[in-house]
Amino acid sequence: MEAWNHEAFTGWSTELGEALAWVRPEKIVDLCRYLHDEQGFERLSGVTAIDRYPLEPRFEVLYLLHSISRNLRLKLKVALPGSDPVVPTVTTVWEGANWYERETFDLFGVRFEGHPNLKRLLLPEDWEGHPLRRDFPVHGHKYSYQNE
Amino acid sequence: MSDPELSTSTALAPESGAAQATTRRMVLNMGPQHPSTHGVLRIVLELDGEIVRKAGPEIGFLHTGIEKQAEALNWQQVVTLTDRMDYLSNLGNNLAYALPVEKLLQIEIPPQAQWMRVLLTELSRINSHAVWLGTHALDLGAMTVYFYCFREREDILRIFELFSGQRMMTSYIRIGGLALEPPRGWQQAVRKFIDALPSKIDEYEDLLNANPIFLRRVQGVGHLPLERLLALGVTGPMIRAAGLKWDIRKAEPYSSYEKFDFEIPVYQESDVWARYRVRLEEMRQSCRIVRQALDGMPEGPWKADAPHVVLPDREKMKTQMEALIYHFKIVTEGFRVPAGEAYVPTESPRGEIGFYVVSDGTSKPLRVFMRTPSFGNLQALPALFEGNLVADSVAALGSMDFVLGDVDR
């Protein structure tokens, strides 16, 4: 697979038996299309993000791919900066990416460019902030207890 | 009904062939408080007469921020949160969470604990399918089945109570093994239940398989081709009812599932009827697995030999210095998990459940992503609804078997 396009990858590793490839954000759709059409990865198990705050690049968008026919799993990761995290959508490849990307947008604030309906999914539409970011407090949201 | 345009769209069209009035679509709000949505799910239906043209599910009413909460608790405490996601398959969730963390910790789970985990998750699979069958049949007007299924569910919950002291939020499967030693007399309790179960599954079939109302409401309803289901991210019994023989317990065995002998039921029709038959057959297969686990239960310890993770025995704490130190460290700080990331897919009653855990080497997770089956399955709802009758939508909805706690987390 690496031979397909070296430029798409920035890294490659296998830890605890799980294969992981780091992908450039602009190449993710092409790569997913290739994996889906020619490598038999017919399922997208999930999309989510990991917040490495305060490190940079802050966000890692994670794609869990699965091929039932080859009984193979593959993780793809895209590193995104904290200031303006944007990555192209893969809903054109797997329809089911829709809600996963919406959830990631909702909870992390990562924008998926070209997504058909990028609105908040789990939280109310007027919610402020993205709760799964590491700098969002678990308790005491909107309240400061320091002056009391 | 005073609106003339609205009434023409809902009433029967006149047979005289008069010029068709411009029909207006009716928007109907189903839920969030509706008995057949099985939880707080809101669906905005756009109706053209009796046909659903557009269905927009809205979720999030049960969102409690479990993934965020997990980052504030230590590794072992997160087990209690997993109980509260999919409240029909608590032990399956416990197991799905424990496996990747144990993978990061690289600890070996002794055979008895592994087999006991299999036994308990299969019991909770039977429990979940029984609840599904009861409520699904109730939606379709077969009320008796509901009481039969809940009778069996009650028996399973008593077994869980025997093991853990809790009926639903058991938290019995922990990182490193089990929470407590299996109680005295558990073999008799499980055997009594498992001996009686096959005849009870026959009873459900007697009530439903020849019931013309039930058959007319499920056969050929809610059809979706396999490719579409896969693209939408559907897993579990819905995939197997569409003809794909894929079960994670067989494909990627975990917790010694490879040592058990069972079949994967597959049907081709991909309708509500096929999903019903797949789940009923799965109950029989789970029954087989439980029986094998019961008969072949290995002897030995029920928790791993990893003193830095597993709490020491009470006796040792009173006699050994090291045990007391470990106890103090685990209780006050929690154990540390080596930095890394792991994902172990498992087969829940609804499909693929897996926890993607990320550790930065401290005693709390950096991130726990919960890949829940209900979330993926629910995305197929518009595809199942659109173009079909309103009355069939309840049957199709029930056949998806989702748990809203699992969807919203």
Span B43-59, average pLDDT: 87
Q: How far is CA B72 from the centre of its chain?
A: 25
Span B107-116, average pLDDT: 91
What count of CB pairs under 8 Å joins A to B? 91
Q: What does the pLDDT read at residue A143?
A: 52
In this complex, which of B72, B234, B342 lies closest to A16 when CB atoms are compared?
B342
Token couple for B178: 């089990």
Q: What does the pLDDT read at residue A141?
A: 57
Residue B189 pLDDT > 70, yes or no?
yes
Question: Is the Cβ–Cβ distance between A108 and A49 less than 8 Å?
Answer: yes
B60 and A68 within 8 Å at the Cβ level: the answer is no
Other C-beta atoms lying within 10 Å of the C-beta of residue B320: 13
Residue B308 pLDDT > 90, yes or no?
no
H or E segment at B206? helix B186-208
Q: What does the pLDDT read at residue A122?
A: 87
H or E segment at A27? none
Answer yes or no: is the ipTM higher than 0.90: no
Other C-beta atoms lying within 10 Å of the C-beta of residue A7: 8
pLDDT-derived band at B20 (thresholds 50, 70, 90) equals low
Q: What does the pLDDT read at residue B87?
A: 85
Chain A residues in contact with B69 (beta carbon < 8 A): 138
Residue B5 pLDDT > 50, yes or no?
no
Question: Is the Cβ–Cβ distance between B293 and B119 less than 8 Å?
Answer: yes
In this complex, which of B68, B69, B231 lies closest to A96 when CB atoms are compared?
B231
Q: What does the pLDDT read at residue B143?
A: 86
Sketch the domain layout of chain A as residue ranges.
6-113
Chain A residues in contact with B231 (beta carbon < 8 A): 42, 94-96
Q: What does the pLDDT read at residue B343?
A: 92
| Alpha-carbon distances of B89 from A48, A54, B81, B127, B398, rounded to whole Å | 23, 37, 13, 8, 17
B68 and A95 within 8 Å at the Cβ level: the answer is no
**B157 or B10: which carries more pLDDT confidence?**
B157
Question: Is the Cβ–Cβ distance between B360 and B390 less than 8 Å?
Answer: no
Residue B118 pLDDT > 90, yes or no?
yes
A46 and B340 within 8 Å at the Cβ level: the answer is no
Q: What does the pLDDT read at residue B406?
A: 87
Residue B22 pLDDT > 80, yes or no?
no
* Residue whose tokens read 């799993």: A73
Residue B8 pLDDT > 50, yes or no?
no
Q: Which of A77-86, B22-31, B49-58 has the lowest mean pLDDT?
A: B22-31
Token couple for A89: 């959508």
Sequential pLDDT tens for chain A (148 residues)? 555 666 677 778 888 888 888 888 888 888 888 888 888 888 899 999 999 888 888 899 999 999 888 888 889 999 998 888 899 998 888 888 889 999 999 999 899 988 888 888 888 888 888 888 888 887 765 555 555 4
Task: State the Cα–Cα distance between residues A78 and A11, nearest whole angstrom.
Answer: 10
Chain A residues in contact with B236 (beta carbon < 8 A): none
Span B292-306, average pLDDT: 88
Chain A residues in contact with B103 (beta carbon < 8 A): 16
Span B361-375, average pLDDT: 90
| E strand map for chain A | 9-15, 18-23, 43-51, 59-67, 72-80, 86-88, 111-113
Span B204-233, average pLDDT: 88
Check whether domain A6-113 has CATH 3.30.460.80, yes or no = yes
Residue B82 pLDDT > 60, yes or no?
yes
CA distance A46 to chain B (A): 6
Task: State the Cα–Cα distance between residues A112 and A31, nearest whole angstrom.
Answer: 16
Question: Is the Cβ–Cβ distance between B219 and B385 less than 8 Å?
Answer: no
Between helix B390-400 and helix B111-139 the angle, nearest 10°, is: 170
Residue B126 pLDDT > 90, yes or no?
yes
Q: What does the pLDDT read at residue B26?
A: 84
Domains assigned to chain B: 4-58 (no CATH), 66-408 (1.10.645.10)
Task: State the Cα–Cα distance between residues B97 and B84, nearest whole angstrom.
Answer: 13
Q: What pTM did the predictor assign?
A: 0.87
